[in-house]
A and B are shown apart, each in its own frame.
Chain A
Amino acid sequence: MPTLTVDQVDARILKGGSCRSQEVVDAGFAAGDSVIALNINPATHTRLPRYIRGKRGTVAFDHGVFVFPDTLAERQGEQPQHCYSVCFTFQELWGPQASAIDCLYIDMFESYIEHIEGAQP
């Protein structure tokens, strides 16, 4: 590992590096789509928290195309894909005793969600 120098500090902190991808990738989802988060349990790196798996939500908006951390962490490539802000109601997450108006927004990569069959957008 090369030694970090003063000049590199400025570049890394003040410039940073976006994980946004310039690749053109089709979006499988759009705002308003009803989706379900996959119930997957990878032993490797993932940004899909356990409390979201299997829950139903609605796509709020599309953030655009980002590299996929799950594969990048395993050195299996960037697999650029859309990342969506998905809204889950508190009652969906925590049951009928939870707030009827509160909601949670979380960023879901294309690989984490699928359409709910028969759902009307």
Chain B
Amino acid sequence: MSRHGHNHSPSPSQLSLRVKALESLLVEKGYFESAALDRIVETFEHKVGPRNGAKVIAKAWVDPAYKQRLLADSTAAIAELGYSGAQGEDMVVVENTPTVHNLVVCTLCSCYPWPTLGLPPTWYKMPPFRSRAVIDPRGLLKDEFDLEIAANVQLRVWDSNAELRYLVMPMRPAGTEGYSEEQLAELVTRDSMIGVGLALAATA
């Protein structure tokens, strides 16, 4: 999936061939049990992904005490909902407000908060996103993500170059006062938790 208008990746057939070859090699050389590979795939397909993060954000929107804990000790508050583990050991949640918009990037590679967002999208790992996010984030958001940040809103870019992993808390959309936590979670997109998008608008 590319948002840059041209492909950065090999075609799916080449890619799946490469994956099959790698899988065979890893198993035949004894690095992995075949079942262990299946378990990894199953974990990231069904257990770990951006719906986890969406539940964290929705809870913070409806529960002021939880939001306070989430901003004060993000790792512990996220673990309250059962989300923890690799690439989420030390979390920092940053809050969007009417005057601040946050954007997360890993300029050095592709560090990403797995327990709350799953594995990163391809574009997140590619040099065009990683370099422009720090040099020209407003242009990047406008051109590649149709997201224009008002001139009077401060843009804060978080480079997760070390061991901390960042999750953006988007603003709660207007008109969602009567929404349940579950309904709110449906509005929290992966992109809004990276900072390349906003939460979806109320549907009612």
Residues of A within 8 A of B (CB): 1, 3-6, 8-10, 12-20, 47-49, 51, 63, 66, 69, 83, 85, 93-94, 99, 101-109
**Taking A4-B32, A4-B33, A13-B40 as contacts, is the C-beta distance between A20 and B163 under 8 angstroms?**
yes
129-173 of chain B: CB within 8 A of chain A? 134-135, 137-138, 152, 154-164
**Taking A13-B43, A102-B155 as contacts, is the C-beta distance between A5 and B85 under 8 angstroms?**
no
Task: Assess whether A18 is in contact with B89, with CB atoms less than 8 Å apart.
Answer: yes
Please, which residues of chain A bring their CB within 8 A of the CB of B33?
3-6
Task: Assess whether A47 is in contact with B162, with CB atoms less than 8 Å apart.
Answer: yes
Partner of A16, one of B86, B92, B160: B86
Give A22 to B13 CA distance when docked, in angstroms: 47
Task: Assess whether A107 is in contact with B39, with CB atoms less than 8 Å apart.
Answer: no
- Closest B residue to A46 by beta carbon equals B108
Give A12 to B152 CA distance when docked, in angstroms: 43
Give A102 to B39 CA distance when docked, in angstroms: 42
Task: Assess whether B87 is in contact with A9, with CB atoms less than 8 Å apart.
Answer: no
Whether, in the assembled complex, B35 has its beta carbon less than 8 Å from a beta carbon of chain A, the answer is: yes
Please, which residues of chain A bring their CB within 8 A of the CB of B92?
63, 85
User: A3-B32, A49-B108 provided; 15 other pairs, C-beta below 8 A?
Assistant: A9-B39, A9-B43, A13-B85, A15-B86, A16-B87, A20-B90, A63-B164, A83-B163, A83-B164, A102-B137, A102-B138, A103-B156, A104-B157, A107-B161, A107-B162
Task: Assess whether A107 is in contact with B164, with CB atoms less than 8 Å apart.
Answer: yes
Task: Assess whether A20 is in contact with B138, with CB atoms less than 8 Å apart.
Answer: no
Task: Assess whether B36 is in contact with A9, with CB atoms less than 8 Å apart.
Answer: yes
Q: Which one of A15, A16, A103 has the highest number of Cβ atoms from chain B below 10 Å of its Cβ?
A: A16
- Closest B residue to A83 by beta carbon equals B162
Please, which residues of chain A bring their CB within 8 A of the CB of B114?
13
Residues of B within 8 A of A (CB): 30-33, 35-36, 39-40, 43, 47-48, 84-90, 92, 107-108, 114-115, 134-135, 137-138, 152, 154-164
Q: Which one of B48, B134, B138 has the highest number of Cβ atoms from chain A below 10 Å of its Cβ?
A: B134
Chain B proximity of A91: nearest CB distance (Å) = 13
Chain A proximity of B201: nearest CB distance (Å) = 26
Task: Assess whether B88 is in contact with A1, with CB atoms less than 8 Å apart.
Answer: no
Task: Assess whether A105 is in contact with B157, with CB atoms less than 8 Å apart.
Answer: yes
Give A1 to B30 CA distance when docked, in angstroms: 8
Task: Assess whether B84 is in contact with A15, with CB atoms less than 8 Å apart.
Answer: yes
Please, which residues of chain B bring their CB within 8 A of the CB of A107?
159-164
Give A42 to B10 CA distance when docked, in angstroms: 33
Task: Assess whether B48 is in contact with A8, with CB atoms less than 8 Å apart.
Answer: no
Please, which residues of chain A bring their CB within 8 A of the CB of B89?
16-20
